[in-house]
Structure 1
């Protein structure tokens, strides 16, 4: 392994890009705050806050999805991901950073009583509304704040513990006893993360953070839908970093075989997302119950109709038609293109999920949205590249590394 490049050095051009994008984002944030955040119009204020909300929630969830990928493959005793496991590890280091921003934004919304965003913050409206009163047991400031803090805090802590244990594979070779103990510890820590992930991302957190913007509406599929969207975006982000490192001469043991499997995940979970998209929409449309159809009315018949169905083209038809072939999943250019498209498509999906409920009659997508997006992309590039440079790119003593090197599909 002496000839393998184990240490990533951050190119100056990458730093320049990250700082530039962060600068553009901060400028957009300041201008947006002056124009909309300080506006006397409560609707404009709500749209400004909502724009920050869906961006920070999106990036927190997709970075957290990379740790989910590591934990679920660990629990499955998978070995194929070991040659590039430091990529999802590095991406997951952004969870505490993005999560902290999310926490500050969400706590600001609930503690300042921004009922234009969360209608259930209006105590008078809750008293007069039987549906809101019935949900007040969990749609209240105290529960929201505690559960949000716990969710982000434990994602960060449990993810950190997984990464900390991974460092053991850089120190010295394992014998049978120490190797077995190492794998067992990985399994236990992965199980803990997955249990908490299922209780939060798989159920409660999407309800609290996004579905409660429409407090009269509910869908039992909403959390699954949100998970599918964030997971396929996380896999796509992972693919982009793997390809970038390969193009820079790193990750020599990661081959087209690994890229092919990453492409399979992108393809499969694009189909899974579509299944949930169709199931959620079809069942509500067929039942035609007013309490359920209110969510889709503005998205199918109103201002967001174009964006709602545009999602289906980007997030389903394009992955279906392009990634179906085996050769496409082994083509660096095509996988890069599809990864960018999928991330963009699901970012747009998060936009319509949040802003479509705050600004029901007007499309607000514009310079502020893309400016805030630039900030998060720049911060992600800076943070992930720093994490990649902080330790070897390959866990050279991991017991399953050989299995990954000889991986073939």
Structure 2
């Protein structure tokens, strides 16, 4: 039987990606019309119209950061398994290669959104450290102004995203060159190890350290957590694993990836299960330590998510608890069994749930602080729907770009020394 090595984009997948992107574009247009994002966001009072700019930029930042980190996590998967010289993912490695290719588009989009807010928008409700006059009278922000400033933010963001894209491009180039190499040629393999190692160091210094501080934690600039970057990584990482699972199962159902078997699906499922528990460990550790210490400057973060003013009045209590149910209890109860991790329907359903759950996680990382400042009348439900519509557009773009990159190379890598190990993989 001849292998189906060259992917052709089915009409149905194109329609879904176009439809989702259409929803995103329409939502964006409606946001520009009704939220007036370039009006400065400093109208009279605290109504929804006066602060439409804040809601608009929050939705764009939420989705651009989340989806960029998710596709970057796909390349982290490649780099980590490459450096570990793990053979089992080789038969589906072109899937995370294709997903991570979306960084070439999502990276610039995220930079335009983030730097557009920092340099162009007059709104200060998301990043208070943008307001120079406010910083002068805020002792804590003044103390952090050495790194919480537009220039440092810009240099770090552009450098980090640029390096991710360069490492991914270099690795992909070596991967494709290896397909054309003579049998037994190992130079590409060793060069790939070096690229993977360098990327992991860079990833550790950005996603696992500095970028979440700048992009996300500085929204609540008076608050800080030493676990925050690890927590952000765990959330995007398990969502990235779930996205890989979705595309692998989809390709299997379309008759591709013939060498991928239940063992490979089972192992991806084990990663989804294990890192859902890892995310929960970080969630609990951060929450427990802050609750136990009971310091006002730390507990304020969770008070905003469990109820404004600690009175249960906030609209984020339901999202806060749902976040824990979706991202911990569901994977724990459903993916614990061996058979569930080998069932295509179950792993597909869980992958969708986990991706949505961690999208929700990023939503509650970003939104409560600014919406609290805007007041209860700021219509948080309307903002949630708007952010969901923008997220649909980003999802459609990820699907479209991944499918496009899948068509650019054979689905089975050639001449890699570990391909045979992957084909006969059994646990």
- TM norm. shorter chain > 0.5: yes
Select the residue among 309, 317, 341 that pairs with 1:305: 317
Matches of residues 6-405 of structure 1 in structure 2 within 5 Å? Answer: 6-38=5-37, 40=43, 41-112=49-120, 113-175=122-184, 178-179=185-186, 181-302=187-308, 303=314, 304-360=316-372, 362=376, 363-364=380-381, 365-405=383-423
Shift of 1:96: 2.0
* SS of equivalent to 1:359: helix
- 2-structure distance, mates of 1:188, 1:291: 43
Single out whichever of 279-288 and 105-114 deviates more from structure 2: 105-114
2-side partners of 1:307 and 1:135: how far apart?
30
- Per-residue CA distance 1:1-60 (angstroms, 9 max, x = gap): x71110001011211111111111101100011111346544221011101100010000
Is the CA contact 1:90–1:384 (under 8 Å) kept in the aligned structure 2? yes
CA shift digits 1:218-252 (9 cap, x unpaired): 00000000000000000000000000000000000
Q: Please state how far the C-alpha of 1:397 moved relative to its aligned partner.
A: 1.6
Structure 1 window deviating more from structure 2 (330-339 vs 371-380): it is 371-380
Secondary structure at the aligned position of 2:304 is classed as: helix
Contact 2:230-2:282 at 8 Å conserved across structures: yes
Stretch deviating more after TM superposition (95-104 or 250-259): 95-104
Distance in 2, Cα, partners of 1:90 & 1:67: 9
Contact 2:82 2:196 in 1 (8 A): yes
Per-residue deviation at 1:168?
2.1
> How far did residue 183 of structure 1 move?
2.2
Q: Deviations over 1:230-289 (max 9, x none)?
A: 000000000000000000000000100000000000000000000000000110011011
CA contact (8 A) 1:37 1:49 kept: no
Alignment partner of 2:225: what SS?
coil
Query: Which runs of 5 or more residues in structure 2 are unaligned?
Result: 44-48, 309-313
Could you say what the CA RMSD is over the residues aligned between the two structures, in angstroms? 1.2
Contact 1:174 1:399 survives alignment (8 Å): no
Q: Please, what TM-score do these two structures have when normalized by structure 1?
A: 0.97
- Distance apart, 1:172 and its partner CA: 3.6
After superposition, the Cα gap between the structure-2 partners of 1:134 and 1:366, relative to the gap in structure 1 and judged at 3 Å, is closer
Displacement of 1:117 = 1.3
What SS is found at the alignment partner of 2:367? helix
Equivalent-residue separation in structure 2 for 1:241 and 1:233 (angstroms): 13
Kindly state the Cα deviation for residue 204 of structure 1 after the two structures are TM-superposed: 0.5
d(CA) in 2 for partners of 1:161, 1:111: 31
Q: Which moved more, 1:330-339 or 1:363-372?
A: 363-372
Moved more, 362-371 or 301-310: 362-371
Classify the secondary structure of the residue corresponding to 1:218: coil
Q: Which moved more, 1:335-344 or 1:108-117?
A: 108-117
2:311 match: none
Deviates more, 1:258-267 or 1:370-379: 370-379
For 1:312 and 1:226, locate their aligned partners in 2 and report how far apart those are by CA, in whole Å.
15
Q: Distance in 1 between matches of 2:282 and 2:233?
A: 10
Q: Give the length in aligned residue pairs.
A: 405
Task: Give TM-score scaled by structure 2 length.
Answer: 0.93
1:126/1:133 contact within 8 Å kept: yes
Once residues 395 and 3 of structure 2 are traced to their aligned partners in structure 1, the CA distance between those partners, rounded to angstroms, is 29
Structure 1 runs of 4+ off > 6 angstroms?
none
Contact 1:22 1:374 in 2 (8 A): yes
Q: Note if contact 2:53-2:123 (Cα within 8 Å) is conserved in structure 1.
A: no
SS in 1 for 2:172: helix
